[in-house]
Amino acid sequence: MAFCPLMLYFPYRNRFPSMNFEAEILTAPHDNSELYVIPSMRSLTAEEYVEAFKSFLDHSTEHQCMDEFNKKELPNIMAGLGNGKSTINVLGVGSGTGEQDLKMIRILQDAHPGVLIDNEIVEPNPQHVAAYKELVHQAPDLKNVSFSWHQLTSSEYEQQVKEKGTHKKFDFIHMIQMLYRVEDIPSTIKFFHSCLDHHGKLLIIILSDSSGWASLWQKYRHCLPSTDSGHYITSSGITDILKRLGIEYRIYEFPSGWDITECFIDGDLVGGCMMDFLTGTKNFLGTAPPGLRRQLQEALCQPECSSKKDGRIIFSNNLSMIVVDS
């Protein structure tokens, strides 16, 4: 899954080339009259992001949140798939290393015992594809399931399908925490919705408007280094697109938290890694101007971002599960 919070590009900033990166003219969030340049800040590389993401998962309930959705809602959704067909076609877009995919495949197996499942995966990262294949190799319970991988981005896959002129239909398509990174979100949703068979479902998992990310992005997205194409988007941005496209959907909200207490402990390595993930910036605490560091840490403590539990600071990582009809 290509989840990338503040490690995203916002297209309305002025950028000027420097030797090592695009130095940006930035506006202080609480003083629009003062412009400043931050030449020392740089975004995380792909490898650094993966490491920061691992730390995020270790201290958050993101996957547990998805498991709750899988337990409470997904079985009923899966039960309505296939329309009596002998084979159910599944497409995972931006599936990462496959842990969540296989959980959903098992739920589909339980809902349709004995039915063949043809599972295709679109994932551009070769390391993730290799890890996914190894996970499948270690799962002997996945009987009657075939797997095929497309090491492509979602846009490359779309282009390939259109060039071939054939349009395979799927009973279930899922896009988990990946729409932040596509170039054209409305076009991407429209294309993959067109790939649904009759009675098919498209599952989009995205950060909720009630998450702390929404508040953080609104205030501080201009103050951080840019990376490649990406978007600051939460659930309302997706549902607005679906409404414009005239597509019916249902939305489920599930709470998720991330313990960021270490972010406020000077010199804590885990806290430093957390701040890097929050901002998409390498060594944010060591390179950001003191004023920006202070403002961001203060913002993280506000009720719209976090809550306190047993003396710990829990950042809101709430998720929206949007189920789209064919």
Mean pLDDT of 185-208: 97
Please give the pLDDT value at position 147: 98
26: β partners: 36
Please give the pLDDT value at position 219: 87
Count Cα neighbours of 273 within 13 Å in the Cβ-side half-sphere. 16
Please give the pLDDT value at position 285: 92
Rounded distance between C-alpha atoms, residue 96 and residue 100, angstroms: 9
pLDDT digits (tens, 9 = 90+) for 103-157: 999 999 999 999 999 999 999 989 899 999 999 999 989 989 999 999 999 999 9
Please say whether the beta carbons of 284 and 166 come within 8 A.
Answer: no
Please give the pLDDT value at position 227: 56
- Cα 181 to Cα 8, 103, 173, 185, distances in angstroms: 8, 24, 17, 9
User: In the numeric block, which tokens belong to residue 8?
Assistant: 């995203």
- The SS3 assignment for 224 reads coil
pLDDT digits (tens, 9 = 90+) for 216-264: 888 888 888 775 445 678 999 999 999 999 999 999 999 999 999 999 9
Please give the pLDDT value at position 48: 86
Count Cα neighbours of 23 within 13 Å in the Cβ-side half-sphere. 11
Burial of 89 (0-12, 13-18, 19+ CB in 10 A): buried
Rounded distance between C-alpha atoms, residue 65 and residue 57, angstroms: 11
DSSP track, 81-143: -STT-SEEEEEEES-TTSHHHHHHHHHHHHHSTT-EEEEEEE---HHHHHHHHHHHHT-TT-T
Q: How many CB atoms lie within 10 A of CB 218?
A: 12
Burial of 31 (0-12, 13-18, 19+ CB in 10 A): exposed
Judge whether residue 31 has pLDDT over 90: no
Phi, psi of 60 (to 5 degrees): -120, 170
pLDDT digits (tens, 9 = 90+) for 46-100: 788 888 888 899 999 999 999 999 999 999 999 999 988 999 999 999 999 999 9
